[in-house]
A and B are shown apart, each in its own frame.
Chain A
Amino acid sequence: MEKKITLSVKDLRKVIGRREIIKGLTFDLREGEVFGFLGPNGAGKTTTIRMLVGLIKPTSGSIHICGSNIAEDFKGALKNLGCIVENPELYPYLSGYNNLLHFARMLDGVGEGRIKEVTALVGLSERIHDKVKTYSLGMRQRLGIAQALLGNPKVLILDEPTNGLDPAGIREMREFIRFLAEQEGLSVLVSSHLLSEIQLLCDRVAIIAKGTIIRTDTVQKLLSNREKMVWRLDPFFKGKEVLGALTGIEEKEDGTLWTEYNEQMTPEWNKQLVEAGVSVLEMNRKMPVLEDLFLELTGGETIE
């Protein structure tokens, strides 16, 4: 059975000045899924998110959050939404606790109990009474998420949530987002310009460039047949000859050979190479980079 749709966007457009920045986006988010919003800088991710959370008015199109149209029933729609737009900016001169108290007061029926709960959930209990200006970026990010979760939202929107975090922080964030979707049943929209991040985090992904969605699909379908295998062989020419006879190869400037990634065939190719007296110095599975994926999807058009 299909999961319930929590966020529904139809033919969303935004014109700023004379430029059309967002050119008709349509997509849905379902309960319990992490949805990726992938595109290079300037693609229009933040602009779209600003429209989703009610900061800017769409030129046309509709946004429904849990059934409420944001243009008609702003309160009803925003009740079910938590968000961080760009950086997690909170009041630096207030303590973390007072920041949460401040935003809890803007929600109906959110009291101290819930504040304690979200504080514990993001692991900030120890420092919650310190001023926010003494927090590290990672702590601010966590406080931002705590703030977004205060009102028990159904939809969570995070704009580039791992920006500026160190690798450990990125991993922690990733696990936390997966936890929210899988255990708490939230729909999470995450934007990013990094393919690797989206790949590890999301169930489905919309690829956006120049204000249009090029493709929406599950991560598996988008990436599975686009992974490559990188070989470094010695002697090079002999290896190239053997491997080339088995499958299509691509020669790179750094002296490696690229083939398609094929789980079944790789051991076989490896065996053949070894039998032919070629040593396999290196064998690597390679994720496609965003630029390559774009090139393929747009048929050679650049993404500037």
Chain B
Amino acid sequence: MNKLVQNEMLKLIAKKRLVVIALIIGVLVILFTYAQYKQVQTQREKLGTSDWRTILQQQIVDTTNRLSSSRISDEWKKQLQISLQQQQYYLDHDINPAEPGAPTFMRIFLENSIDLFIPLMVMVIASDLVSSEHSLGTVKLLLTRPVNRWKVLLSKYITLCLAISLIIAITGFLSYAISGVVFGYKGFGAPILTGFHVTDEGLNTSDVKLLSLWKFLLMDLGLVWFVAIVVGTLSFMLSVLIRSTAAGMGVMLAALISGAILSNMVSSWESAKYFFMVNLRLTDYMKGNAPPIEGMNLSFSMSVLLVWWAAALLVSFMVFTKKDVY
């Protein structure tokens, strides 16, 4: 098995996919670092001070103003109320919610890339892992060795998991290393609030506790990794089922994008919560954002994703070991 994984790694490296992915992540991080930097600057100019308490105060006033406007929908209103409560809590406890520094940037970057950007990068690798062997015709050589088919597929899957771990590590490292140039590398010990629950009555802060940012980041990374594995496994299944890499990628991309759109409009369609793609924003639960559909929480979303993952893996292995190869 070791040798088979070595083989898959050899091919992956020869295709230079990981280098391309690292480059994309690097460029994106630079872009976001600049954007963040601009934002901080504008805020300072507007307020004439760099004191975050003043900024937070200003944000609370802004949010309150928006809430009093009559043209906003109920859902949006609820969201605003929750974030208002959070902001107030931070202010009362003298905690800077956006402690500037590379670790905070990394947290924000991870939270924003969990449902589209990271899955996209994972897809680049997963979606042609099997189908490319078909389009090259090398599958005929691969499957006529004295090696059982499930072992061939397992070696590919292990390689995928390794590659995904590497992508997450690269993302973490680059977002920290690059943004640190601008924001400084300190701030891992900063306290951050977690444990908010969104209930019918609004934000429940009874379980709220302070956590060091590095612990929070580790949890974020774990959640991002979990989502990436699930998405990777689904693309992997499509790669087994569909011979054309482009078609497989198209299906997966459509699912991911529809997930992003659905999240914003399905609050009244309850059964939509069983789709994997509306459950991808796991890190939102850590911050206490309102879920897209009422009743969803971290363990629910993780269970849904786990079921999709298991089903995809099962289908992949069943089909691959049985099917005729032409």
Could you tell me which A residues sit within 8 Å of B by CB distance? 50, 53-57, 74-79, 81, 83, 85-87, 89-94, 98, 101-103, 105-108, 147, 151
| The residue from B137, B141, B326 contacting A103, defined by CB atoms under 8 A apart | B141
| The residue from A75, A81, A86, A105 contacting B148, defined by CB atoms under 8 A apart | A75
Besides the known contacts A56-B326, A98-B14, 9 further A-B residue pairs in the complex with CB atoms under 8 A apart: A54-B144, A55-B326, A74-B146, A75-B147, A90-B138, A90-B141, A101-B10, A102-B10, A102-B11
- Which residues of chain B are within 8 angstroms of A98 by Cβ–Cβ distance? 10, 14
Binary per-residue interface labels of chain B (119-151) against chain A in the complex, 1 for a CB within 8 Å, 0 otherwise = 000000000000000001110111111111000
- Which residues of chain A are within 8 angstroms of B137 by Cβ–Cβ distance? 86-87, 89
Q: Smallest Cβ distance from B127 to chain A, in angstroms?
A: 17
A147-B10 in contact (CB<8A)? no
Give the CA-CA distance A98 to B10 in the complex, in Å: 9
| The residue from A85, A91, A93, A102 contacting B144, defined by CB atoms under 8 A apart | A85
B144-A78 in contact (CB<8A)? yes
B147-A91 in contact (CB<8A)? no
A55-B145 in contact (CB<8A)? no
- Which residues of chain B are within 8 angstroms of A75 by Cβ–Cβ distance? 146-148
B147-A55 in contact (CB<8A)? no
Could you tell me which B residues sit within 8 Å of A by CB distance? 3-4, 6-7, 10-11, 14-15, 136-138, 140-148, 324-326
Give the CA-CA distance A94 to B16 in the complex, in Å: 12
B141-A89 in contact (CB<8A)? yes
- Which residues of chain A are within 8 angstroms of B146 by Cβ–Cβ distance? 74-79, 106-108, 151
Give the CA-CA distance A214 to B121 in the complex, in Å: 55
Give the CA-CA distance A251 to B145 in the complex, in Å: 55
- Which residues of chain B are within 8 angstroms of A79 by Cβ–Cβ distance? 146
A50-B14 in contact (CB<8A)? no
Give the CA-CA distance A101 to B136 in the complex, in Å: 18
Q: Smallest Cβ distance from A26 to chain B, in angstroms?
A: 22
A57-B324 in contact (CB<8A)? yes
- Which residues of chain A are within 8 angstroms of B325 by Cβ–Cβ distance? 50, 55-56
Q: Smallest Cβ distance from A98 to chain B, in angstroms?
A: 6
Closest 3 CB pairs of A and B: A89-B137, A56-B324, A106-B145
Write 20 A-B pairs (CB below 8 A) sorted by A numbering. Answer: A54-B143, A55-B143, A55-B324, A56-B324, A56-B326, A57-B324, A89-B137, A89-B140, A90-B141, A91-B11, A91-B136, A94-B10, A102-B10, A105-B4, A105-B7, A106-B3, A106-B4, A106-B7, A106-B142, A108-B146
| The residue from A55, A56, A105 contacting B3, defined by CB atoms under 8 A apart | A105
- Which residues of chain B are within 8 angstroms of A106 by Cβ–Cβ distance? 3-4, 7, 142, 145-147
- Which residues of chain B are within 8 angstroms of A86 by Cβ–Cβ distance? 137, 140
B144-A53 in contact (CB<8A)? yes
B138-A91 in contact (CB<8A)? yes
Q: Smallest Cβ distance from A14 to chain B, in angstroms?
A: 9
- Which residues of chain A are within 8 angstroms of B136 by Cβ–Cβ distance? 89, 91-92
Q: Smallest Cβ distance from A101 to chain B, in angstroms?
A: 8
Q: Smallest Cβ distance from B137 to chain A, in angstroms?
A: 3
Q: Smallest Cβ distance from A108 to chain B, in angstroms?
A: 8
| The residue from B4, B6, B141, B326 contacting A147, defined by CB atoms under 8 A apart | B141
Q: Smallest Cβ distance from B153 to chain A, in angstroms?
A: 14
- Which residues of chain A are within 8 angstroms of B143 by Cβ–Cβ distance? 54-55
Question: A78-B144, A107-B145 given as contacts; is B6 within 8 A of A94 (CB)?
Answer: no
- Which residues of chain A are within 8 angstroms of B324 by Cβ–Cβ distance? 50, 55-57
- Which residues of chain B are within 8 angstroms of A90 by Cβ–Cβ distance? 138, 141
Give the CA-CA distance A93 to B11 in the complex, in Å: 8
